[in-house]
Structure 1
Amino acid sequence: MSPTPLRWLYLAGFFICAALLGTAYYFEIVEFMEPCPLCMAQRFFVLLVGVFCLLAFLFDKFRWPSRLFLGLGTASAIGGAFVSDHHVWIQSLPPEDVPACGPSFEYLMETLPLDALIQIMLSGDGNCADISWMYLGISMPGWMRLIFILFALVGFAALVYTWRRSNRKLSSW
């Protein structure tokens, strides 16, 4: 099977994810904005989407591996959208309903087992309610929610395209 016309879109997705991670590290290292547990979970999902985009690019000429990586990338984008949505929800809570703040992420990584760390990362704490950056009235998690939704929609459309493309070739035999 020949590579799809979407092949370069997969590579662009990888570079977009690399740029998003670079931006996150810029805000952390240069702007001294300490990431909360939900921010770290969103970074993880961006990393997953980027890796699956790269794998879809590399294995594009093979039908099933490319579909698998597209599906996993789309699922990762949906997971990231849910985490971002939860983060936006925590930021919208009134101050009296915000969960208590927890220890730093580094401390949690050093002291907790993996399952407890994942649970805390996905539930968030009071640190996640702080809005330290906005653009056009939308916070960072709000932008990430939009980006994850876009990745999920494009991934789903690419899956449908590759599925229909391969079915057309099979029916022409």
Structure 2
Amino acid sequence: MNFERLSPRLGFLLGFAACAGLLGIGAYLQFVEELEPCPLCISQRLAILATGVVFLLAGLHNRGRRIYAVAAAAVALVGASISARHVWLQHLPPEEVPECSPGLEYVFQHFPLADTIKLMLTGTGECAKVDWTLLGFSIPAWTLLAFLLLAAWAGLQFVNGGGQPDRE
């Protein structure tokens, strides 16, 4: 595929479609396969949603291509850092895994917002559990790869003029 001929609008909308697909996979794993998401999984889903919103806005707005590309890459890299922490937790020796916390619903109801956000971004013992793998990689490892690919795709949109002059 010749990316130089791909319009930036279509490129951003393809990025949005990828994010929507990732959220669909997450919903399938949760509701069909009955894999309950941990706090870091939920944080990763929120980062995918945020990345998708930036891609969608860029595709609909069709101006400021480079600004949107940088924003999408930045949000995707934040998501990648959350995924990297999750992968790191999954590879800790059992004696170094943090303790499990109360359920997220309980935490939202009884803890201050700052503590809840900290819990969602740092993870707990249940985040270290590997429930599912594909080709030897856990869900957070695949999500890390997806975030890195989304950031790279955003980078391509930064340089992709689609044969048109910049309309910044």
With normalisation by structure 1, the TM-score equals 0.86
Moved over 3 A (4+): none
Alignment of 1:11-90 (within 5 A): 11-60=13-62, 62=63, 64=64, 66-90=65-89
C-alpha displacement of 1:166:
5.0
Contact 2:39 2:127 (8 Å CA) reproduced: yes
C-alpha displacement of 1:160:
3.1
For residue 51 of structure 1, what is the amino acid of its counterpart? Answer: V
Q: Which has the higher contact order (CA 8 A, sep 6+)?
A: 2
Which segments of 5 or more consecutive residues in structure 1 lack a partner in the other structure? none
Contact 1:52 1:69 (8 Å CA) reproduced: yes
Deviation larger for 84-93 or 153-162: 153-162
- Alpha-carbon separation, structure 2, partners of 1:129 and 1:166: 48
Deviation string 1:117-149 (CA, Å, 9 cap, x unpaired) is 111111000000000010000000000000100
For residue 15 of structure 2, what is the amino acid of its counterpart? Answer: G
Q: CA RMSD in A?
A: 2.1
- What number of residue pairs does the alignment pair up? 162
Relative to total residues, which structure has the larger helix share, 1 or 2? Answer: 1
Which segments of 5 or more consecutive residues in structure 2 lack a partner in the other structure? 1-5
Deviation string 1:87-114 (CA, Å, 9 cap, x unpaired) is 0000001111100011112222222232
Contact 1:98 1:129 (8 Å CA) reproduced: yes
- Alpha-carbon separation, structure 2, partners of 1:21 and 1:158: 22
Match of 2:125? 126
